[in-house]
Homo-oligomer: A and B are copies of this chain.
Amino acid sequence: MKLSPEVQAQIQTFKQYRIDKPPAEIVLHYQKELQAIQDTLDIISGGWKMQIIALLCNSEFRFSEIEKGLPSITAKVLSNSLKDLVQNKLVIRNSQNNSERKVSYKLSDYGYTLVPLIIELTNWGVNHREYLRNGPIAQKHDSKSP
């Protein structure tokens, strides 16, 4: 686990910021944040949505291309996920010359606002693999060595 200095600072801020109140009030104080987290997760979690979005970040894909790209997804789940994403305005469905035979999907501008989140998800996942491989001890040594 190598954390960038900014992230370490971010974490330190989080750790040091303490509200001097009983738990119940702390909870109250963070209601909105917790709700926001839930809102986001409701949209992106649940199956494959985030992977689909991550794929679409990089190119426009057709239905079957996504299907092949995410090998263990089924047509039904993909279909449902895409429908949700389109409804949430994150993804744009393009049926070329009205033929249902040639449909492609791409991220909307709004969809691209998820980029920072995608980056964090990716980073953490990559780090986590490392963490699992190296064992929990690895981050013990001094991080200041040049």
**Which A residues contact B (CB, under 8 angstroms)?**
1, 3, 7, 10-11, 14-15, 17-19, 23-24, 26-27, 30, 32-41, 43-46, 50-51, 54-55, 57-59, 61-62, 65, 68-70, 89, 109-110, 112-129, 131, 136, 139
Contact = CB atoms under 8 A, between A and B. Distances in A.
Given A33-B54, A33-B122, A46-B45, A59 B117 contact: no
29 contacts: A1-B110, A1-B113, A7-B113, A7-B115, A11-B112, A11-B113, A11-B115, A14-B112, A15-B112, A24-B65, A24-B68, A24-B69, A26-B59, A30-B54, A30-B55, A35-B125, A36-B121, A36-B129, A37-B50, A38-B125, A40-B122, A40-B124, A40-B125, A41-B44, A41-B121, A89-B136, A110-B131, A113-B124, A114-B124
B120 A120 contact: yes
A10 B57 CA distance: 12
A136 B110 contact: yes
A103 to B, nearest CB: 14
B125 A27 contact: no
